[in-house]
Structure 1
Amino acid sequence: MSPGRRARLALALGSLSAFGALTIDMYLPAMPGMAHELQTSMPLVQLTLTVFVIGLAIGQVIVGPLSDMWGRRRPLLIGMALYVAGSLWCAMAPDVGWLVGGRILQSLGAAAATVLARAIVRDLFDGTAMTRFFSTLMLVNGVAPIVAPVIGGQLLTVATWRAMFVVLAALGAALLLAVVFTLPESLPAGRRQPARLTGTLRTFRALATDWHYLRYVLAAALMFAAVFAYISGSSFVLQDGYRLTPQQFSLVFGANGLGIVLFGQANSLLVGRAADEHTLLRISLTVATLGGLGVLACAALRLPLPMLLTCLFTVVSMLGIVFANATSLALTRHGSAAGAASSLQGLLQFLVGGAASSAMSLTGHVNAVVMGATMFLCAAAALAVLSARRR
């Protein structure tokens, strides 16, 4: 593959895989204001985030196996069209109930983009080359956490939160056109799975009993839950608890996204040269666990804000290393069913992340201690799963 084509492919697939994060992160600075305008409670506004994550999980389980049977291109085009429609629905929502409905439709479209980006990478690459390409995707994918909250924070200075969903609809439409004209089919007809339900169920059963696959998928899912606890709780913790403005919060959030990019690119340089994927994964999860413990300590002891932000950066930035290595190791043995394998990874990732967010909401008030405890426990559980041996 020529460098030019590789760069275009990374840009397209990175943008697709970033749609979930982009759709979550852009409206985080507006969540307190949304609760006020829609005359609803903070937990109900957080519910729109949880619903979106659950829709991402369920949508991936549907789209992944279908793409193994139909190819990647058709489900991707349908998914992007749903995303645009859902974004416009959210922009016009008169109350929080309608907003939840729009987020469900939006999540199903984002699910297609997320799962098929990983499956297309598995179609085209193998081994260390696949790991390095996943690291390259983090360069594009990591831009979403950097740019999205900044865009959201700046939009709030000139418009209401509804403008964010109009912008998301426009971005979805632009990427839909890009897929139509620049992204060919990556799964030839000869490599597709038979269109039978029993075959799909057998594939999922084989994946669910493959510990080599599960340990990496679960480790990635638990690490995502640690970061998702930060995503869902940080707007309330930093804005309400530490009195940051929406613009200041967006800059902090963007700096943590920059950490994902930097460490993702460091992983691309290190893998296959300084260490293998498993070693880099174990080291990054260890660092994330220590960072989560630091967040909890800073919150419990009321240490200065810069110390808390440093620990948050440590946890979040490790996602760039964890995802690239864990995803590559999980998909290595399942090239013939990359869509199903990618969808089960997405299901576990977002269900565990949604469970972590819901558990925080059950406390009644999300504060720094609750967020720190959730981040530490999830990162420690990810490290424990990676170290576990099947009997």
Structure 2
Amino acid sequence: MPLAPPRPLSLLPSLASLTASAPLAIDMYVPAFPDMVRTLETTGSGVQLSMTAFLAGLVLGQFLLGPVSDTLGRRRLLLGGTALFGLFSLLCAVAPTVQFLVGARFLQGAAGACGAVLARAVIVDWYRGPGVARYFSTLAIITGVAPVAAPLIGALVLLAAPWQAIFVVLALVGLAQFAAVWWRVPESLPPDRRNPGGLRDSFRAMGGLLRNRFFVGYAIALSCAAGGLFTYVSGSSFVFQIVYGMSPLGYGVVFAVNAISMTVAAGLFGALSRRVRLNTLLMTALSVSFLATLVHVAIDLTTGGNVAATWICLVLAISGLGMTFPAIMTIGQSVAGHSAGSASALLGGGQFLLGAVAAPIVGVFGVDSATPMAVIMLVAFTCAVLALAVLARPWRGHGEHRVTAS
């Protein structure tokens, strides 16, 4: 007899805490980048490489854990992943060189992948119908607390302790997530619903999704949009602190405002998802991000840019992503049908794959201007728009029948 799904109000906060590990680990140490350059005797690009390593670990972990969870279930993998996330966070805290830090961050990312990929799969395991879009929106809102709080927490930690203490805080986060899974997240994929063909069939299902043109279009659009986001995350600390002279705490406030705008947009997506087609919301949101970044580049190239124009354009661009991400996650999981773990792995892993590529590029082109960050973001958003137009063709309404059904 199938188990009754848990109440969303009891499950969603725990799932959000799991998905929060990645943005916390990405954003909390961003205000410390200038200090890490000095203490580790490296360059800005060298420190940014530690972010790339974390994102690469997230990609590999998701690509492996998604299909594996379709065969073995979700709960055991979540328990192991959260425990290892805490352990590898401590390794980052004791890193004596930037090379050691890069290796530890890769392991930390691989462990953190469990929460990123399996929380989404758990939602699809338990729930169907019109609530799914709202649940992904709610997850995005709650998870939005992480990037809002992360740079502020990191900046406050830096006021009292060196940057290594940030990773000690992340180790405690891993411990809290382990407890949340233990007490609040039951197994959502019982043995009779798992892939009967084992791991080979699970990975074969992932290959089938890669042959689905429309799913691939949405996945590429999500990955490119995420590339733009991580370009902003990686480069904005240098833009606001070095180019515009802000303090770490001041930059934390800027980052928090931008993250709040992203969270509000995710909430707006949830509110509108019952009345407006999901693909319409997606196309509108991504257009806002693209146009805001286009204006940002134009201002930088014609006037040299200023802090107010940069901030306003970034608020608009990040707000558009607040609706883009939950829209693509909802549509993509619906297009994929079953094999929720494999679909979640491809959607999530792809976005972090391009994030890993984009993160160090700003440093390579220099950190004495906001223009490189803006141009790279524009390229990423342009590719996302093209992926939707050429492959996904959202005007056909793909992935909406399961969401809008009563």
TM over 0.5: yes
State the secondary structure of the residue aligned to 1:142: helix
Structure-to-structure mapping, 1:319-334, within 5 angstroms: 319-334=321-336
Per-residue deviation, residues 259-309 of structure 1 (Å, max 9, x unmatched): 111011111111121x11100000001111001112212332223311110
Aligned equivalents of 1:170, 1:243: Cα separation in 2 = 32
| Alignment CA distance shift 1:200-1:113 (3 Å) | same
Shift of 1:125: 2.0
Per-residue deviation, residues 335-373 of structure 1 (Å, max 9, x unmatched): 421101111112211111222224334335473111000
| Alignment CA distance shift 1:277-1:390 (3 Å) | closer
Structure-to-structure mapping, 1:115-194, within 5 angstroms: 115-194=117-196
Aligned equivalents of 1:356, 1:233: Cα separation in 2 = 10
Q: Which residue of 2 aligns with 1:265?
A: 267
Contact 1:278 1:325 in 2 (8 A): yes
Q: Which residue of 1 aligns with 2:341?
A: 339
Aligned-residue RMSD, C-alpha = 1.9
| Alignment CA distance shift 1:366-1:199 (3 Å) | farther
From 200, 217, 220, give the equivalent of 1:218: 220
Aligned equivalents of 1:209, 1:225: Cα separation in 2 = 23
State the secondary structure of the residue aligned to 1:156: helix
| Alignment CA distance shift 1:84-1:356 (3 Å) | same
Shift of 1:132: 1.0
State the secondary structure of the residue aligned to 1:57: helix
Q: Which residue of 2 aligns with 1:256?
A: 258
Q: Which residue of 1 aligns with 2:294?
A: 293
Contact 1:233 1:367 in 2 (8 A): no
Per-residue deviation, residues 23-46 of structure 1 (Å, max 9, x unmatched): 000000001101101112221111
Q: Which amino acid aligns with 1:277?
A: L
Q: Which amino acid aligns with 2:288?
A: V
Gaps of 5+ in 2: 394-406
Instruction: With the length of structure 1 as denominator, give the TM-score of the two structures.
Output: 0.96
Q: Which amino acid aligns with 1:13?
A: L
Count of residues in correspondence between the two structures: 390
Per-residue deviation, residues 211-261 of structure 1 (Å, max 9, x unmatched): 121111111111111111100111111111111100000000010110111
Contact 1:191 1:336 in 2 (8 A): no
Shift of 1:318: 1.6
| Deviates further, 333-342 or 217-226 | 333-342
State the secondary structure of the residue aligned to 1:388: helix
Q: Which residue of 2 aligns with 1:75?
A: 77
Shift of 1:319: 1.7
Shift of 1:3: 12
Identity value in percent: 38
Contact 1:291 1:376 in 2 (8 A): no
Gaps of 5+ in 1: none
Query: Structure 1 residue runs of 4+, over 6 Å off?
Result: 1-4
| Alignment CA distance shift 1:262-1:3 (3 Å) | farther
Per-residue deviation, residues 304-332 of structure 1 (Å, max 9, x unmatched): 31111000011112222111110111111
Shift of 1:115: 0.2
Q: Which amino acid aligns with 1:77?
A: L
Contact 2:68 2:202 in 1 (8 A): no
Contact 1:82 1:108 in 2 (8 A): no
| Alignment CA distance shift 1:133-1:31 (3 Å) | same
Contact 2:62 2:113 in 1 (8 A): yes
Structure-to-structure mapping, 1:1-391, within 5 angstroms: 5-194=7-196, 196-273=198-275, 275-300=276-301, 301-365=303-367, 367-389=369-391
| Deviates further, 199-208 or 69-78 | 199-208
State the secondary structure of the residue aligned to 1:318: helix
| Alignment CA distance shift 1:151-1:193 (3 Å) | same
| Alignment CA distance shift 1:46-1:189 (3 Å) | same
State the secondary structure of the residue aligned to 2:186: coil
Shift of 1:136: 0.5
Aligned equivalents of 1:325, 1:266: Cα separation in 2 = 11
| Alignment CA distance shift 1:161-1:286 (3 Å) | same
| Alignment CA distance shift 1:105-1:389 (3 Å) | closer
Contact 1:233 1:366 in 2 (8 A): no
Aligned equivalents of 1:126, 1:221: Cα separation in 2 = 25
Contact 2:242 2:367 in 1 (8 A): no
Instruction: With the length of structure 2 as denominator, give the TM-score of the two structures.
Output: 0.92
